[in-house]
Amino acid sequence: MDKFRIHYKCNKTPKANSGLEGFTVDRTYTGRSFNGLFEVTPQWGNGKQTKLLKRQEFEEYFEVLPLAFLQQSA
């Protein structure tokens, strides 16, 4: 198990010039978080390049979902 793995939800469509194309509001995604950075991509594990965001930029568009929330929705 990847101890840095996170699940997050998109709350706001990223700006066109942000480099975060492909994210849809209210959809859940998989990524990683470490050292205050967030590694995001619309399709985790597909081989495409991920993007590293600082906490402030991540929280502008996304929110980390608690593990309990994910277990309830499964």
| Chain segment 29-71, per-residue pLDDT in tens | 999 999 999 999 999 888 888 999 999 999 999 999 987 555 5
User: Which pLDDT does position 50 carry in this prediction?
Assistant: 92
User: Which pLDDT does position 26 carry in this prediction?
Assistant: 95
pLDDT of 72 above 80: no
Distance of CA 33 to the CA centre of its chain: 9
The two tokens of residue 37 are 């950075």
**Alpha-helical regions (H) of 1-74:** 55-61, 67-73
The backbone torsions φ and ψ at residue 20, rounded to the nearest 5 degrees and listed phi first, read -115, 55
User: Which pLDDT does position 1 carry in this prediction?
Assistant: 60
User: Which pLDDT does position 68 carry in this prediction?
Assistant: 56
The two tokens of residue 69 are 């929330």
Q: Which residue has the higher pLDDT, 21 or 71?
A: 21
